[in-house]
Structure 1
Amino acid sequence: MVTTEEVSAREAEVLELVGQHLSNAEIGARLFISVRTVESHVSSLLRKLNVADRRALAQRASVPTSAGRAAAPVLPAPLTSFIGRLPERAALTEMIKKHRQVTAVGPGGVGKTRLALAVAAGAAGDHPDGVWFVDLVPVSDPGMVAAAVAGALGVGEQPGQGLDESVAAALGDQRALLVLDNCEQVRDGVAPFLERLLAACPRVTVLATSRARLMVPFERVYPVPPLSLGADGDSDAVALFLDRAASVGGPPPPGLRDHIAAVCARLDGMALAIELAAARWPTLGPDGLTAGLADQLRLLAGGPRADDRHRSVRAALDWSHALLEPEDRELLRRVSVFVAPFTVPVVARVTGSAPGVVVDGLARLAEQSLLTVTATERGTEYRALETIRQYGTEQLAGSGELDDARSGHLRWCLEEADGLGTGGPDWRARFDRVADDLRAALAWAGEQPGRRGDAYRLARLLAELTFTRTSISESQQRFEQAAALAADPVTAAAMLRQAAAVAGLRMRGEDMHRLRLAAAAAARLAGDTAGAAGDLATAATETYRFSGKFERVPPHHEVVALVDQARELAGEDPAARAAVALAEAAVLTDAFGSAQGPAENAVPETIAYAERAVDLAHRTGDPLAEAAALGALTGAHSWAGDTFGTAATARRRITLLAAAPATPAGSNEVLDALGDATETALGAGDLAGARRWSRQLADHPLLAEVGHRATNWLLMTGALAGDAEQVRASSLRFRDAWQRAGSPVRSYLGPAVAGTAMIHGLCGDDDAYREWTAILDRVGTSPGRDLGYGPVFDAMLLLHRGQAIQAAQRLAPEPDEVWKWVTWIWLHWYVALRAEAGVLAGLPSAGERLMAARATVAGNPVAEAMVARAQALLDGDVERVLATAAAFEAAGCRYQAARSLVLAGGEHAPRGAALLAELGFSLGSLRQADAR
């Protein structure tokens, strides 16, 4: 016979269940322990009982062990498995070891009972005289608590004793655990009963569950949290959903795990709600379930629970609601309008109640687990879970108070939004705290005909606030919503213009065009023909000015028709005439340099149109209009091959916009101007200016979420300057953001990607070079890759590797043959590299190339130094080659400075090689120098 010391109480329980031929998983569910723990006990029993396998162990289960083991827990057998809650089980287990009365508190449906049962079963070994469970749901009279406990213990009333005394006498000095479940409705009876029991029975521990604290001095409270919600879909909430869904129709596919995590988050991790939602999974699927969450009380009904309170979320809430005093029920209804956490002063403002009354009422609701409480630096914040909030809204509607409560909430939201518009150091944090309430108030007001004016005002304020908060997708949506709510077409047109500008910032060319045309239609409806002309002209201009933002640019003839309509409507209005002039410069001559481009002999006409547009815009006194016209003039100078005139115009535009308003239209101009300034500075060899402006773009808050756009110019600058460290760092942000955005096909990203690939090639990282070349293939091709930036970056890499003949071949076309693609920022780089490649390849035309290049690049410090170095190499003048190193250093191009040392050869080459290595580059060009 096996002795007591050999087999523990828990092992005896496992042995008994093995004898019933239960699996390890079934044993774990029955005993509320993990499968791994069951396996450990089975292994121990095989060793202690000296049997070979599980079959023999089951046979031994019929042999009695010694009779001293702990009494089996008298607990209800759960019908479903217990999922997760390991931290909670550990914490609650530790509490009942240290304290004699612990209350697990939480709202209905959070999982208090199941947690208490799991903890009680696991603690049976610490309570050898028994674990007892008492369900107080059927008890409505506080005076009957002792009777319920006595019934669970099997204790009858003794002569001359009350039932509470009989229970105390029965438990005496036993080491027992008493689980009192659902104490909330009989708190007034539970508290005195426990006080007498614990005083009389010093070794008894009580674990209670309740929606409210028992409010006794010796009580230790454990707030039961919702199930964990992991951002990656790996959480107790998701595990519970998957388990329950599998039991009613098969587990959801693994690919829907994130969707299920989102559903669980919408349900605030409430166990009952998740179980009920999982039960609807087979019939509703992911889409139906998500849609149904808008009315959770209807969706989360009809569960399989035997307990009527838990057959639906509404039933669970009805139970809690019935326990409230009338004034607390009213307060619960009133605070249900809040979506975000709220404070006492806010509730007092919205409800018109005295702060003292609100404090007491919110405290009582929190005690009943109907509100969560969080202490913050700003004060105590309260929040109702979503199901409770929806329940309160139902109660508001049923009591006829909904309109009044919503109206108070709307007034508060308007006041908050107005106050946020004034700014302040912490305004973003303040906005984030109330944003959900603003959205909820707008959703309600927008459906109330009598609240249209308030709804428009709130939509406009929310559009402006979300724009400043850089939530530009929502900003566009809110401006469009404001336009739909506007009282007149003039106001609607103004909101549509704002929405169009935001769409432009989002790179949504089709949206931008649609909204501009809608603004024109609204202006015409209002009789504002000049405004309509401006909108039509701007819509035409933007198709060329921002062609890279379109998936499909409107056909040229449609755009010309818009210009014709705008011209007819403009009349003598200065702003309209300026807008039309800009459209003519952009569309009729393509002054912005899109793929079509003006014919070479039309360049003077392009400049004339652009200068007229600048002049007319300047007369209006509108800096944004003038800046847009200067953008056209910048493009015109570029097509003329006037590199320095192009850069000067771009700088003029930057100066003009120094005080530009932080509006959608103003931000559009600033970002576009910074891009132009960066690129034209690169074209003129002003690397310091290019770094400054590209850094402003990279750090601009509106580009924070679109890192591939933010770092686009920074990568171009770093590549041409030969700054390997900066390019490698920025390229990671670029690639990650581009992939997060869905890897959009945008040909304007080509130069940045090609430059990044080149830098990795210069560093000798062939894998990274291939990766970025593949990305270049995916961002979209353009003639510039073959005839503009492509030859420049390819030639720099080929020359670094000592492949001068191949570089010369890549730069074979004369600049006049590819003038459209090298006049933007690439002309000086193209001709300087072409001259160097001709010299190093030993071409007979090298001298002619040098002469032509010298005239073209005069005034560009980087290109001049490259041409001077090529001439010195042709002449065999090492001292002049070395002199170019200092010129490159002064221009901010350390890579080329190191290359000059390498090309000088002899004793200077090792110094140049060391500098290249210090900068992170390979030593490909050193091999070329040695060959010389």
Structure 2
Amino acid sequence: MTEAADAEISPREAEVLGLVGDHLSNAEIAARLCISIRTVESHVSSLLRKLEVPDRRALARRAPVRGGAAPDRAAAVLPAPLTSFIGRARERSKLAALLKEHRQVTAVGPGGVGKTRLALAVAAEAAGAYPDGVWFADLVPVTDPGMIAAAVAGALGLGEQPGRDLADSVAAALADRDALVVLDNCEHVLDGVAPFLERLLATCPRLTVLATSRARLMVPFERVYPVPPLSLDAGGDSDAVALFMERAAAVGRPLDAALRGQIAAVCARLDGMALAIELAAARCPTLGLDGITAALSHPLRMLTGGSRADERHRSVRAALDWSHALLEPADRALLRRVSVFAAPFTVAAAAEVAGVEDGLAADGLARLAEQSLLVVAAAPDGTEYRALETIRQYAAERLAEAGEPGEVRSRHLRWCLARAAGLEVARPDWRVRFDQVADDLRAALAWAAEQPERRADAFGLARRLAELAFTRNLTGESQRRFEQAAALAAGPAESAAMLRQAAAVAGCRAAGDDMYRLRLAAASAARDAGDSAGAAVDLATAATMAFRYWATFVRIPSREEALALLTDARKAAAGDRTTRSSGAPATQAPQVGDDPAEQATPAGGDPGALAAVALAEAAVVADAFGAVQGPADNVAVPETIARAERAVELAARTGDPLAESAALDALTCAHIWAGDTFAAAARSRRRVTLLSSLPPSPAVTHELIDALGMVTEATLGAGDMPDACRWARQLDGHPSLAEVGHRAPLMVDALAGNVEEVLAGSVRLLDAWRRAGSPARAHLGPAVAAVAMVHGLRDDHDAQRGWREILDRLDVSAERAHGYAAVFDGMLLLHRGQARDALERMAPEASEVWKWVSWIWHHWYVALRTEAVVLAGDPDARRHVTEARVAVAGNPVAEALVARAAAVLDGDRDALLATADAFDAAGCPYQSARTLLLAGGEHAGRGTAAFAALGLAPKAVSLW
């Protein structure tokens, strides 16, 4: 019996475990099993507990091999060969030995020599030596050297991470793995492969890479292994003869062993090239050995000149030339014309691009497939065809010789434009349909972008591909395509629009520096187009970004830069077209000490520009006086609120929900600094209401994710747990966060006591964080502290210690020490009955640490600290209770916490029990169960049962 069976996992969990072992993401598993992502997360969390493994990587190693028991290493992720591998014992041994001695080996040889099959055979045999698995990435579909990382990430099952490119994600995923990666067919993207491998091997010390290529990669650490032709023996006892006979038998013509000598002669004339031999063997049923021998004397079979390597290359060309010469003219034309497809294609697609009728295309494709020039496969939409890469490249050369590339590629471009336009994202299968044509869209765009007369079509395809990639959650590619569209635009106004879209996508990627750069570029393009209002919006938005999204920047723009942009934005809003847009400080730029209030927003001008400028002014004022100590001491708060309210008023006049939402965000922050938790929550709700009905776009998605995060945290701060949970679920289910998650839901569920949700969400958070390279992102601190607390409540000390170690790597700031971590630590210490320790952990009064407990944590800090004061027996406890009642008024959870502390102080058991109902009504089951334990007696049993139902470990803390 397997370990999985011993753990009594359910059939559905077994399915999920198998797919985790196949390295599928949660979203991919959900799609495969037709269940929700949250259900997958729940199953993964359950499997982690049942199999007693710490993370998803370890879980993958426990997944069963198809048809076997659970292995103690990661399974090899290699394509299954469709035909048997013949011979090559000496080559396998030599290549395997090189892999043991060198971290990067390139199997080099001409097309058709058998590099891929040899690499796959060696990788399969060596899989046991790599505990973390063997991975295969085929680079054939890659037409852009910049997409190497995307191809490898796809093979590893990685998605994009906010703030990191895919190359970083791949390096992070493999950083500590003892694994082998096979990169197949590198020759056409050498410029991308070489720097990618240098970067990868430098950061992954235990990684080995086996590459196949027609040319060496030319990197300093490369060990080249020239792949020889198949062994030849005049007597007929050779790998080449064995391959010929096996392939001939596979197509229905078993050959007599007495013919070995004649077969050896054929193989020798083909120079032992595997592809040529397979093509020749496939003709046996129709030509026989005599016919094949005669065909080899055709004058097209050989080229002249060149080195031995070139001769081997000419041998492959000779085999293909020979096969090509046997075709009817119409079939030759069809073969060369379908060479423009980068991915499998249908009869209808081939007919449209080749310019022939469907019936003629179907007959021709069948004949080409019969002659091993095309591979046939069944697909959901019908039969698909594809050319092996060597043959496709050969056919592409024939296309050029025929003088047809422009005509055929133009038809392919039109076909791609139609396919892109017809991808309706409302259809449930649209993602599959996009994936089927994506490589062709990219290839068509690469060609069209280089044709001046096709500039308009290239622009349209780049824009559409950017939109589709964004919806497909390929945000890195989406940003690049929008930038490409901007470069292809017919004029600066169109370019500015594309740059704004690119900036919005960068925002979704949490790439603040790109967002800032692209907005400045949009401002420049708008200025060139004579659009002063548009330039003003872009400049003001860039200035606002420096403060609104500061946590996403690598280099945060200085306040001087922001003030200079604000000055230029004011001028542009007033109609001055001479403003700069580079972001460099102006000659007369405002200085740090200047009061932004002294520089008034222009009285006239475009409403949108005026609203953007007003928002930027509010952001600058907030930054200027941002070091608040408490609402009573912050004299700038009224000024900040006034400016934010003015920004909201102007934005509302524009009728643009995105502008109004951004202004409301500034007003929300102003209310936070004013200490008005409930006003902040109300403004956050208004933002979501404005945005929820808008059609999806990069800008809407960026703003909506931010708004959902804010409203979740705002309602949590106000103690509205039902709403906080509702917003958290909506945020958690957003497609753009399907694989990376958000910190807010974990915080909500931890404070409410929704343990299963915390455990499931923490798996995703940890997986995403590790795939992103384990960055030191302080904004993740509250979520990590929440998970650590929940493990502490469960008495899972090892898990708690692990999460606290992660927290130490993320955040060592005062905000952690005096803010969110004090709340979570205090709550855990109170749970364990360590009231004096809890009071020591939250020793400062709330007014002393206002800067770090404002926003979400103020009411929680005050209430939990009050409970600690009472339970620790502080002689001044009654004063604390009285003051706390005032401080948390309106927050149902905090009010109940203070009321419970007061009941304990008064010795009023009935009043204490009444708070259990209050906690239930407020959506806080953990605190309800804790109340029952504190009440003791017959209530303690109910409390113990409630804790067990939540998955927590109760403590003996009864007070009666």
TM over 0.5: yes
Q: 2:437 — aligned with what?
A: 434
Displacement after TM superposition at 1:324 (Å)? 2.1
Unaligned runs of 5+ in 2: 1-85, 94-113, 125-228, 232-238, 268-276, 296-301, 575-604
Q: Do structure 1's residue 331 and structure 2's residue 334 form an aligned pair? A: yes
Q: Do structure 1's residue 582 and structure 2's residue 612 form an aligned pair? A: no
Q: 1:480 — aligned with what?
A: 483
Q: After alignment, is 407-416 or 781-790 more displaced?
A: 781-790
Distance (Å, rounded) in 2 between the aligned partners of 1:417 and 1:592: 50
Q: 1:561 — aligned with what?
A: 564
Q: Is the 8 A contact 1:537 1:562 kept in 2?
A: yes
Displacement after TM superposition at 1:323 (Å)? 2.7
Q: 1:881 — aligned with what?
A: 912
* 2:798 aligned to which of 767, 772, 782: 767
C-alpha deviations, 1:258-298, integer Å up to 9, x for none? Answer: xxxxxxxxxxxxxxxxxxxxxxxxxxxxxxxxxxxxxxx99
SS at match of 1:182: helix
Specify whether residues 672 and 784 from structure 1 end up closer, same or farther in structure 2 by C-alpha distance, changes over 3 A only. same
SS at match of 1:694: helix
Q: Is the 8 A contact 2:539 2:569 kept in 1?
A: yes
Q: 2:643 — aligned with what?
A: 609
Map 1:15-34 onto structure 2 (within 5 A).
none
Q: 1:258 — aligned with what?
A: none
Distance (Å, rounded) in 1 between the aligned partners of 2:388 and 2:248: 30
Distance (Å, rounded) in 1 between the aligned partners of 2:655 and 2:921: 40
Q: 2:937 — aligned with what?
A: 906
Q: Do structure 1's residue 190 and structure 2's residue 303 form an aligned pair? A: no
Specify whether residues 472 and 688 from structure 1 end up closer, same or farther in structure 2 by C-alpha distance, changes over 3 A only. same
Paired letter, 1:783? A
Q: Do structure 1's residue 700 and structure 2's residue 734 form an aligned pair? A: yes
Q: Do structure 1's residue 829 and structure 2's residue 956 form an aligned pair? A: no
Displacement after TM superposition at 1:621 (Å)? 0.5
Distance (Å, rounded) in 2 between the aligned partners of 1:110 and 1:828: 77
Paired letter, 1:744? P
SS at match of 2:636: helix
* 1:921 aligned to which of 933, 938, 952: 952
Distance (Å, rounded) in 2 between the aligned partners of 1:33 and 1:798: 64
Map 1:83-162 onto structure 2 (within 5 A).
113=240, 116=243, 133-136=260-263
C-alpha deviations, 1:709-742, integer Å up to 9, x for none? Answer: x242110111111222211111011101110111
Distance (Å, rounded) in 2 between the aligned partners of 1:435 and 1:84: 26
Map 1:673-822 onto structure 2 (within 5 A).
673-705=707-739, 707=740, 710-822=741-853
Q: 1:148 — aligned with what?
A: none
Distance (Å, rounded) in 2 between the aligned partners of 1:130 and 1:503: 65
Paired letter, 2:708? L
C-alpha deviations, 1:560-618, integer Å up to 9, x for none? Answer: 22112111211211100000111111122249979999971111111111110000000
Q: Is the 8 A contact 2:247 2:278 kept in 1?
A: no
C-alpha deviations, 1:762-791, integer Å up to 9, x for none? Answer: 111111111111111222333321222111
Q: 1:842 — aligned with what?
A: 873
Q: Is the 8 A contact 1:654 1:670 kept in 2?
A: yes
Q: Do structure 1's residue 497 and structure 2's residue 519 form an aligned pair? A: no
Q: Is the 8 A contact 2:512 2:550 kept in 1?
A: yes
Distance (Å, rounded) in 2 between the aligned partners of 1:736 and 1:794: 24
Distance (Å, rounded) in 1 between the aligned partners of 2:293 and 2:952: 68
Q: Is the 8 A contact 1:754 1:793 kept in 2?
A: yes
Distance (Å, rounded) in 1 between the aligned partners of 2:872 and 2:843: 12
Paired letter, 1:133? R
Distance (Å, rounded) in 1 between the aligned partners of 2:629 and 2:526: 32
* Count of matched residue positions in the alignment of Structure 1 and Structure 2: 691
Q: 1:630 — aligned with what?
A: 664
Q: 2:185 — aligned with what?
A: none
SS at match of 1:788: helix
Specify whether residues 415 and 302 from structure 1 end up closer, same or farther in structure 2 by C-alpha distance, changes over 3 A only. farther
Q: Is the 8 A contact 1:509 1:547 kept in 2?
A: yes
Displacement after TM superposition at 1:483 (Å)? 0.5
Q: TM-score of the superposition, structure 2-length normalised?
A: 0.67
Displacement after TM superposition at 1:444 (Å)? 0.4
Distance (Å, rounded) in 1 between the aligned partners of 2:436 and 2:822: 52
Q: Is the 8 A contact 1:537 1:566 kept in 2?
A: yes
Higher relative contact order (CA 8 A, sep 6+): 2
Paired letter, 1:809? E
Map 1:317-328 onto structure 2 (within 5 A).
317-328=320-331
* 1:863 aligned to which of 894, 905, 910: 894
Displacement after TM superposition at 1:456 (Å)? 0.8
Specify whether residues 210 and 721 from structure 1 end up closer, same or farther in structure 2 by C-alpha distance, changes over 3 A only. farther
Paired letter, 1:360? D
Distance (Å, rounded) in 2 between the aligned partners of 1:385 and 1:568: 60
Q: 1:374 — aligned with what?
A: 377
Q: Is the 8 A contact 2:248 2:281 kept in 1?
A: no
Displacement after TM superposition at 1:351 (Å)? 2.3
C-alpha deviations, 1:85-115, integer Å up to 9, x for none? Answer: 79x9xxxxxxxxxxxxxxxxxxxx9999465
Specify whether residues 369 and 591 from structure 1 end up closer, same or farther in structure 2 by C-alpha distance, changes over 3 A only. farther
Displacement after TM superposition at 1:756 (Å)? 0.7
Displacement after TM superposition at 1:319 (Å)? 3.3
Map 1:173-212 onto structure 2 (within 5 A).
182-183=280-281, 187-190=285-288
Q: CA RMSD in A?
A: 3.6
Q: Do structure 1's residue 852 and structure 2's residue 883 form an aligned pair? A: yes
Distance (Å, rounded) in 2 between the aligned partners of 1:699 and 1:592: 36
Specify whether residues 900 and 564 from structure 1 end up closer, same or farther in structure 2 by C-alpha distance, changes over 3 A only. same
Q: Do structure 1's residue 348 and structure 2's residue 351 form an aligned pair? A: yes
Displacement after TM superposition at 1:648 (Å)? 1.1
Paired letter, 2:671? H
Map 1:666-677 onto structure 2 (within 5 A).
666-677=700-711
Q: 1:621 — aligned with what?
A: 655
Paired letter, 1:537? A
Q: Is the 8 A contact 2:469 2:477 kept in 1?
A: yes
SS at match of 1:336: helix
Q: TM-score of the superposition, structure 1-length normalised?
A: 0.69
Q: After alignment, is 319-328 or 427-436 more displaced?
A: 319-328
Paired letter, 2:610? R
Q: Do structure 1's residue 471 and structure 2's residue 509 form an aligned pair? A: no
Q: Is the 8 A contact 2:479 2:505 kept in 1?
A: yes
Displacement after TM superposition at 1:397 (Å)? 1.2
Paired letter, 2:611? A
Paired letter, 2:750? A
Distance (Å, rounded) in 2 between the aligned partners of 1:858 and 1:336: 72
Q: Is the 8 A contact 1:719 1:756 kept in 2?
A: yes
Q: Is the 8 A contact 2:492 2:526 kept in 1?
A: yes
Specify whether residues 798 and 770 from structure 1 end up closer, same or farther in structure 2 by C-alpha distance, changes over 3 A only. same
Specify whether residues 82 and 921 from structure 1 end up closer, same or farther in structure 2 by C-alpha distance, changes over 3 A only. closer
Q: Is the 8 A contact 2:352 2:415 kept in 1?
A: yes
Q: Is the 8 A contact 1:723 1:919 kept in 2?
A: yes
Distance (Å, rounded) in 1 between the aligned partners of 2:241 and 2:718: 73
Displacement after TM superposition at 1:656 (Å)? 1.3
Q: Is the 8 A contact 2:652 2:660 kept in 1?
A: yes
Q: Is the 8 A contact 2:248 2:282 kept in 1?
A: no
Paired letter, 1:614? V
Percent of counterpart pairs with the same letter? 59
Q: 1:391 — aligned with what?
A: 394
C-alpha deviations, 1:532-552, integer Å up to 9, x for none? Answer: 110011011111111121123
Distance (Å, rounded) in 2 between the aligned partners of 1:558 and 1:30: 65
Specify whether residues 376 and 592 from structure 1 end up closer, same or farther in structure 2 by C-alpha distance, changes over 3 A only. farther
SS at match of 1:420: coil
